[in-house]
């Protein structure tokens, strides 16, 4: 089974709300090598059934309440990594086994400091429990033959961090992503590239450096960040949330172009109004302009389309799907 080597790869980091199918495909089109999904909690996925959707050519994991929890498309099949939140090895392994055919890799979130994660014992809460980390990774490895990674933050003490990463290495993961901040540190704090460098020189599996967005303003900066961390690959979140064309070797694109490219994919894959608005708001940057204000005032998907001159295309697509473009009640499924 083919697995990623994580050798000089440039990766879209997992981002809740942002890392859904349209944005992942956009980033892959622009040149990123691997696209991580937003974090999805294991229990939610385990309540889903798999549906091959002929309307969009997608594979959907649909919750019992009808919500699409994970949507993927053959165009990303070789390059998409699903990130899950978990605190239960058996559940993580059940997700791994259930989803293996539709994803190129699986990642376990061990860095999220948000309350909803930590309270459930997931995300950064796992960092305090190396035994559980080991069990989760071993049980996933036993049933999952594709790329397996986890994404951690630094522990307050470097000795503890090194002990943890050595333990993670023994589980058979293909790579380790390291955000160079502790659970308590916020994005304004300096990312600890030196700590990532020490980790990379301590273990022999590839290390994916993360946390460097503040210093990434060009394609060349991505490689500078990798070298500063002595890492094998780089994973980017905030920098590409604002400007996914940073993934382009050929150079960056104007905002209008990126928004237009995103908009088309959001229509093609029936992205929800709320998600589309959130993603475009990030791409928009400054919304204090008259156009920005007009955008913020939109109340449904079609109104967003109107701002970016996509209403004709949207109406055509909606009619092809046998729906009425003026019926907005159908579109917002969260």
Give residues in contact with ligand FNR (CB under 6 A).
Answer: 13-16, 18, 38-39, 83, 109, 111-112, 151, 179, 210-213, 236-239, 241
Q: How far is the CB of 83 from ligand FNR (least distance, A)?
A: 6
Active site residues: 112
Distance of CA 84 to the CA centre of its chain: 10
Pairing of β 68-72 and β 58-63: antiparallel
* Burial environment of residue 6 by CB neighbours within 10 A (0 to 12, 13 to 18, 19 or more): buried
Nearer residue to ligand FNR within complex by CB, 109 or 192:
109
Nearer residue to ligand FNR within complex by CB, 114 or 312:
114
Secondary structure (DSSP) of 198-259: HHHHH-SS-EEEE--GGG--SHHHHHHHHHHHT-SEEEESHHHHH-GGGG-TT----HHHHH
Query: What's the rounded Cα separation, in Å, for the pair 125 and 169?
Result: 19
Nearer residue to ligand FNR within complex by CB, 215 or 311:
215
Q: How far is the CB of 210 from ligand FNR (least distance, A)?
A: 5
Query: What's the rounded Cα separation, in Å, for the pair 210 and 139?
Result: 26
Q: How far is the CB of 330 from ligand FNR (least distance, A)?
A: 27
* Backbone torsions φ then ψ of 51, nearest 5 degrees: -130, 130
Nearer residue to ligand FNR within complex by CB, 161 or 210:
210
Query: What's the rounded Cα separation, in Å, for the pair 59 and 82?
Result: 13
Query: What's the rounded Cα separation, in Å, for the pair 67 and 255?
Result: 31
Q: How far is the CB of 99 from ligand FNR (least distance, A)?
A: 16
Find tokens 């308590």 and name the residue.
Answer: 184
Helices (H), strands (E): how many in the chain? 14, 11
Q: How far is the CB of 310 from ligand FNR (least distance, A)?
A: 24
Nearer residue to ligand FNR within complex by CB, 214 or 307:
214
């Amino acid at each position: 089974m083919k697995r990623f080597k994580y050798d000089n790869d440039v990766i879209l980091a997992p981002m809740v709300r942002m890392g859904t199918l349209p944005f992942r495909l956009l980033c892959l089109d622009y040149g990123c090598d691997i696209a991580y999904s937003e974090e999805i909690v294991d229990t939610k996925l385990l309540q889903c059934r798999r549906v091959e959707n002929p309307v969009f050519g997608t594979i959907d994991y649909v919750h019992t309440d009808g919500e699409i929890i994970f949507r993927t498309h053959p165009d990303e099949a070789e390059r998409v990594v699903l990130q899950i939140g978990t605190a239960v090895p058996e559940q993580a392994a059940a997700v791994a086994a259930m989803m293996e055919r539709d994803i190129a890799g699986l990642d376990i979130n061990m860095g999220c400091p948000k309350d909803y994660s930590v309270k459930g014992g997931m995300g950064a809460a796992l960092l305090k429990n190396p035994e559980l980390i080991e069990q989760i990774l071993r049980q996933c490895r036993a049933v999952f033959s594709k790329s397996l990674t986890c994404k951690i933050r630094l522990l307050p003490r470097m000795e503890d961090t090194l002990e943890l990463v050595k333990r993670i290495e023994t589980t058979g993961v293909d790579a380790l992503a390291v955000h160079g901040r502790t659970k308590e540190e916020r994005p304004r704090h300096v990312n600890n590239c030196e700590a990532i460098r020490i980790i990379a020189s301590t273990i022999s599996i590839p290390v994916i450096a993360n946390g460097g967005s503040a210093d990434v303003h060009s394609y060349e900066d991505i490689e500078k960040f990798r070298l500063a961390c002595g890492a094998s690959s780089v994973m980017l979140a905030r920098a590409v949330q604002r400007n996914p064309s940073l993934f382009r070797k050929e150079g960056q694109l104007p905002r209008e172009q990126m928004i237009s490219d995103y908009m088309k994919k959001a229509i093609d894959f029936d992205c929800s109004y709320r998600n589309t608005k959130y993603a475009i708001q990030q791409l928009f940057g400054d919304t204090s302009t008259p156009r920005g204000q007009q955008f913020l005032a939109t109340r449904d998907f079609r109104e967003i389309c109107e701002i970016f001159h996509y209403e004709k295309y949207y109406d055509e697509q909606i009619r092809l799907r046998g729906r009425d473009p003026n019926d907005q009640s159908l579109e917002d499924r969260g």
